[in-house]
Amino acid sequence: MIRLLFVWVVFIIGVMGLQACHADNSPLTPPQEVTLHFGHQGVRDFYTYTHGVSEDYPKILNFSDLAWYPPKLGTVNIRHSNTTVKIPYTFLVVGVRDSRYLHGIGGMDISAGLSQTEFTTQEQAYQDYVALITAFKKAGWQQYFKPFNTRIAKEDNFKLIMYENPSDTPKDRFVIDSGYSSDSLTLLNFKEWQTMMSRKFSRGWNGNLYLRDVTVWININKTATKPNPIANQPDLEQYMVDFHFETAKYEFYGKITDEETTEQLRQVYDESQSSDKEFRQDYETHAKNAGFSINESYQDPDMWQYIIEPAY
């Protein structure tokens, strides 16, 4: 616990130091449970939890954060597209926006514990993983592959999670997305969970999901172990969860420079999609050469419609 507290204190001090350079200094302690949105409502949310209710919130905001400290960690409700997903045991949530555009909150990074207690059993950690992924599934989130990702078939999901490219792997057999889930909403069984987390250099569980115009990368990783105080019982384990949310607007506008017209923006989008698809074609050929099957039925969501819609 002391080691964990030290790491988070150092991190929070760094965030507070950066935040002192902005008008969004945070004098209020956030409540134990908060509800956050993307877009302009997201700016209002962060401002309300840090400064109180006001219609005079700053419309230009680079980032804002909410932090909680053990033993009273936070619960963050991510509200989007008329559904809510609950993220418990949260240490920190940072909301960001592109200062060049008035689109509101475009990204959120959340750091949380997987379980209620800092150290827990493998069985409890597995149940908490099941609860977390089930919550996203019930809220309507779906499996997501970035336009350049290999669409590895569902039946090869665990194989992909466990796959390690040998050091002498030729380029035409190199699997670029090894270590990621290709079927994030289908739960691993307990034996698979144990196998994945017990690897010496495990990258944990990594999955990509999307809901309408928002994508999220989730990483669940075992970060420490300690002896079980109960004699002849397995070690207790510590797990952390990182979430990286992005809206389609935030991701797209972060890549452009001075394009302004809809036609110019569409050209940039189409060129990016075309380039990504070429990479995907090569990567999928390499994956096939390595013995993986491809999910040809997966269709990329049309993010262009959300990029050009008015900011919400």
> What are the domain boundaries of the chain?
2-308
Mean pLDDT of 66-86: 97
Which pLDDT score is estimated for 151?
99
Q: Are 277 and 218 in contact (CB under 8 A)?
A: no
Q: Is the pLDDT of residue 32 over 90?
A: yes
Q: Which residue's structure tokens are 């449970």?
A: 33
The phi-psi region of residue 162 (left if phi > 0; otherwise alpha if psi is between -120 and 50; otherwise beta) is alpha
Residue 24's pLDDT band (boundaries 50, 70, 90)? very low
Among 17-21, 117-121, 125-129, 253-257, the minimum mean pLDDT is found in: 17-21
Q: Are 67 and 11 in contact, with CB atoms under 8 Å apart?
A: no
Average pLDDT, the chain: 90
Least confident of 60-74, 84-98, 152-166: 60-74
Lowest mean pLDDT among 7-11, 154-158, 275-279: 7-11
pTM of the entire predicted model: 0.89
pLDDT recorded at residue 55: 65
Give yes or no for residue 20 having a pLDDT over 50.
no
pLDDT at 53: 73
